[in-house]
Amino acid sequence: MNIFTAIWHYIESVFKGLAGQALQSAKDFVVNFIKTDLGQDALAAVEYAETLANASGPDKQAAARQHLIDLLKQSGKDVANFATSELNWFIETALQALKAGITSATASTGSDNNATPTA
């Protein structure tokens, strides 16, 4: 094995280690987000939008955003200071949790340790 191959294998192993740590951090973040009241509301909004069978992707996103706003208002939260991009981010995080099989129940029990967020 020449020196360049050895260096390449070392660099490759470092990047694989960093990627593994980043993936675990993402999983932990999603689980912890779903445990919050905001995460619960975002998950409920996504689940609601998923019931809209004939709606397009953008229509489902708009429905989820409006449903999230309604849920936040019902729980007494001031939504006037949330930008649309922030609401979309909450919804996207909840959608990724749902796709990875992270639900309210699995987030609270920690039984989602092997769940993998998807793009």
Write down the pTM of the prediction. 0.72
Classify 48 as helix, strand or coil. helix
Q: Report the pLDDT value the prediction gives residue 110, as an integer from 0 to 100.
A: 54
Distances (CA, A) of 14 to 7, 48, 90, 117: 11, 42, 31, 22
Classify 113 as helix, strand or coil. coil
Q: Report the pLDDT value the prediction gives residue 109, as an integer from 0 to 100.
A: 59
Name the residue with tokens 């909840």. 94
- Distance separating alpha carbons of residues 34 and 97, to the nearest angstrom: 8
**Residues 11-23: pLDDT tens digits?**
777 777 777 787 7
pLDDT over 60 (residue 66): yes
Q: How many CB atoms are closer than 10 A to CB 76?
A: 6
Q: Which of 67, 73, 65 is nearest to 90 (CA)?
A: 65
Contact of 65 with 95, CB cutoff 8 Å: no
pLDDT over 60 (residue 24): yes
Classify 65 as helix, strand or coil. helix
Contacts 24+ apart (CB under 8 A), 14-22: none
**Residues 70-116: pLDDT tens digits?**
999 999 988 888 899 999 999 999 998 998 888 766 666 554 444 44
